[in-house]
Structures are given as structure tokens and as C-alpha cells.
Amino acid sequence: MRDFSKTLLEWYRQNKRELPWRDEQNPYKIWVSEIILQQTRIAQGCDYYLRFVERFPNISQLAEASEDEVLKYWQGLGYYSRARNLHAGAKYIMKNHKGIFPENHADILKIKGVGEYTAAAIASFAFQLPFPAVDGNLFRVLTRIFGITTPIDTAAGKKEVTKLAMQLINSTHTGTFNKALMDFGSLQCTPSLPKCSDCCFSFFCVAKKQDLTTLLPVKSKKISIKIRHFYYLHIINGEKNYICKRSAKDIWQGLYEFPLIESEKKLLQEEILGHPYTVGILKNCQWAIETISPVYKHQLSHQTIFGQNLVIKINKGMPLFGKNMLAVSIKELERYPISRLMERVLMC
């Protein structure tokens, strides 16, 4: 255990990844990068990070921006609550810390959307505070090397691994230790097909010695996947297209979309057109179906969404919508943040 940090840091010196935020000391930019990398692959996140910090280079400019603009710069990354939390967090820092990012770990945790992992990453990277960044990479590496079989999705498992990480962390190079552990988990001790044959820890890794690599880390719970069917009504009336903002506390909150019928089961075309919502909108109109898109599958971590778009052209009359519906041209639609699924149905 005494040589763990030394061995890890030596591996890191030889294998360190070059990333736009890798040597960043600005806590604001570190915060942005860590929020982007939640649920996002690094290859995808790099471009988003560069565009985001170019447009919002500091806390004050992010706080002053509109939510729609922040979401537009996030468009395509998914998990939009992250962008809303960043926006709210910037406003919180402006109000409670005079626009200066807090240096205390406890104060960092008070920022909306910042959990234990993100707070530890910011505290260690920006301020060299001795907090291990406990994420999936850390769980995987430490459970394999030290042979921990307690399920990591239990309180006992999280506590055991976190305690071990606290014992292992290099107090002199805290930030570098956390970055090294992240890279080691991403490049060497990967979830599948880890590179055990040339691993610097192979001489004492319990998983390698006892052939437990594919079994660790242990998880006790299985993820339940919810199935949803989204039927978009792209209603065109002259130059106008109708969109509304998702306001419910659900996926894509704050994004814009066409009027939507959601179903737990697949619907036939006549069921969509005969749905009370569709009938209510179009009852004073003469209309025709222009095109029907293919069914697009959109996979989220706990949900599978099947989306389809029906393009309906109004020949006479006005559709009946509530006050929250907006009428915009296709060109104007580009200004509004939309989901990846909406992007796909628009392209059909």
C-alpha cells in the first residue's frame, strides 16, 4: 500500500493524456470540465468544453446569460440538468461569493449540482486539498487491485473504498494523484479487456492473481430500463412551425420540441391522428399528412425512447394551442435549444 501512490504517479508521468483542461488551475474551468464529463465521453466533451468556455469565459458571463442560450451551447450533450445547474451555480457564486469561486471543500459542495466527486476534483485540482475523487474509475481500480468484494452500489461498499482512497492519496500531489487514477482507469484498468499483462500493479493485484478481473467491482442492483414512445406533431401553417418548452421535471426540461403525444406502447398512425390531443389541435383546420419519419431509437442510461415525427400541413384554418406554444420559422427554430432526438426528426 505504501508504494501505491509512487507507482501510480510514475505510470502517469509516462501515460498522461493531453486534454484541454488537464493542467488548468482556474477552478471555474475545472468545474465546467467536470460537469461536462459527467455522462459524456471525453472525445465528445472536448469540443463542447472549448466552445462553452469561449462563450462563457468566467463566472459572471455565465451568470448573466439566459438559460436558453446556456442550453443551446449544451445542445447534443444530453442530461441538460447539468447545464441548468451550472447556470444556477454561477448565479449562486455571484450572489454568495462575490463572483469568486470558493476554495473551501464544504463551500464547493453547496454549489447546485456539485456532489462529493466533483467537489473533490475541484478542491484537489485547483487548490491541492486532500480529497480523493471517488468515481467509477477509482471504484474499479481499487476494488480490483485490493480485492474488495463489497458491492460498490451499497453504503458499506462506498465507505470501504473511500476510506482506502483516503489512505492511499498522496497529500503532496493530491490533484495529480486523482488525475492519474482517472487516466489509469480509463486507459489501463478498463471496464472490459483491461491491459493486465503490462500493468504496473500486476505483481500484487488481487484480481489478477485470483482471476477476479471480470467480477470486480461487484454491484448488487440491476438497472431497470423504462420504455417510452414519443410522437411529435410537426404542424406547419404557412411559414410557421409550432414548438413549446418542456417544463415538467423530466428529461430535456427547458428544451423546446414540437407538440408531443407520449405513450407507453407503440401507436398506429390512426391512433396518433385520432388521439384527443391531436383532434383538439386540428378540429378547426383542413390539413394533410405531408411526411412520416422513421422511428428513431434514443438510448439514455435508464430509458429507451422511440421517437417518430408526423409532419402535418395546415391548408385552411388555425390550430388550437395553449398560450405556451410558440409559432416560429424553421430559421428561427435554430435559436432554440432542442434535444438530440428532436434534431434527428428534423432531419428526416
**Distance between CA atoms of 42 and 256, rounded to whole angstroms?**
26
Asked whether the predicted pLDDT for residue 222 surpasses 80, the reply is no
Q: Are residues 22 and 111 in the same domain?
A: yes
- 223-243 as b/e: b if 16+ CB within 10 A: eeeeebbbbbbbbebeebbbb
Q: Are residues 162 and 311 in the same domain?
A: no
Q: Are residues 211 and 242 in the same domain?
A: no
* C-alpha cell, 156: 458499506
What is the tally of structural domains in the chain?
Answer: 2
Q: For residue 171, what pLDDT band results from cuts at 50, 70 and 90?
A: confident
Start-to-end CA span in the chain (Å)? 57
The predicted structure's pLDDT at residue 1? 63
Q: For residue 322, what pLDDT band results from cuts at 50, 70 and 90?
A: confident
Mean pLDDT, range 258-267, rounded to an integer: 96
Mean pLDDT, range 141-169, rounded to an integer: 95
The predicted structure's pLDDT at residue 301? 82
- The fraction of the chain above a pLDDT of 70, given in percent, is 99
Q: Is 34 a catalytic residue?
A: yes
Q: Are residues 154 and 295 in the same domain?
A: no
Query: Of the candidates 162, 186, 215, which is a domain's last residue?
Result: 215
Residues 6+ apart with CB under 8 A from 288: 312, 313, 315
Q: For residue 324, what pLDDT band results from cuts at 50, 70 and 90?
A: confident
Q: For residue 114, what pLDDT band results from cuts at 50, 70 and 90?
A: very high
Q: Are residues 208 and 234 in the same domain?
A: no
Asked whether the predicted pLDDT for residue 323 surpasses 90, the reply is no
Asked whether the predicted pLDDT for residue 111 surpasses 80, the reply is yes
Beta carbons of 77 and 251 less than 8 angstroms apart: no
Residue 43 maps to a domain:
yes
Mean pLDDT, range 238-260, rounded to an integer: 94
Read off the pLDDT of residues 6-33 as tens digits, 9 standing for 90 and up: 999 999 999 999 999 999 999 999 999 9
3-state helix, strand, coil in the chain (%, to 5): 45, 15, 40
The predicted structure's pLDDT at residue 250? 92
Beta carbons of 107 and 291 less than 8 angstroms apart: no
Mean pLDDT, range 251-271, rounded to an integer: 95
Q: Are residues 202 and 328 in the same domain?
A: no
Residue 221 maps to a domain:
no
Burial group, residue 157, by CB count within 10 angstroms (0-12, 13-18, 19+): buried
Q: Are residues 166 and 268 in the same domain?
A: no
Read off the pLDDT of residues 57-85 as tens digits, 9 standing for 90 and up: 999 999 999 999 999 999 999 899 999 99
Residue 220 maps to a domain:
no
Q: Are residues 251 and 274 in the same domain?
A: yes
Mean pLDDT, range 163-191, rounded to an integer: 93
Q: For residue 135, what pLDDT band results from cuts at 50, 70 and 90?
A: very high
Query: Of the candidates 151, 183, 215, which is a domain's last residue?
Result: 215
- 96-135 as b/e: b if 16+ CB within 10 A: eeeeebbeebeebbebebbebbbbbbbbbbbbebebbbbb
The predicted structure's pLDDT at residue 2? 64
- What average pLDDT is seen over the chain? 94
- The fraction of the chain above a pLDDT of 90, given in percent, is 90
The predicted structure's pLDDT at residue 295? 95
Q: Are residues 183 and 82 in the same domain?
A: yes
Q: Which residue has the cell 465507505?
A: 159
Per the residue annotation, which of 10, 24, 34, 290 is the catalytic one?
34
CATH (domain of 239): 3.90.79.10
CATH (domain of 166): 1.10.340.30
Query: Of the candidates 166, 192, 215, which is a domain's last residue?
Result: 215
Read off the pLDDT of residues 36-61 as tens digits, 9 standing for 90 and up: 999 888 999 999 999 999 999 999 99
Q: Are residues 80 and 198 in the same domain?
A: yes
Asked whether the predicted pLDDT for residue 220 surpasses 80, the reply is yes
Q: Are residues 70 and 196 in the same domain?
A: yes
Structural domain for 135, as ranges: 4-215
Asked whether the predicted pLDDT for residue 224 surpasses 90, the reply is no
Asked whether the predicted pLDDT for residue 173 surpasses 70, the reply is yes
Q: Are residues 126 and 232 in the same domain?
A: no
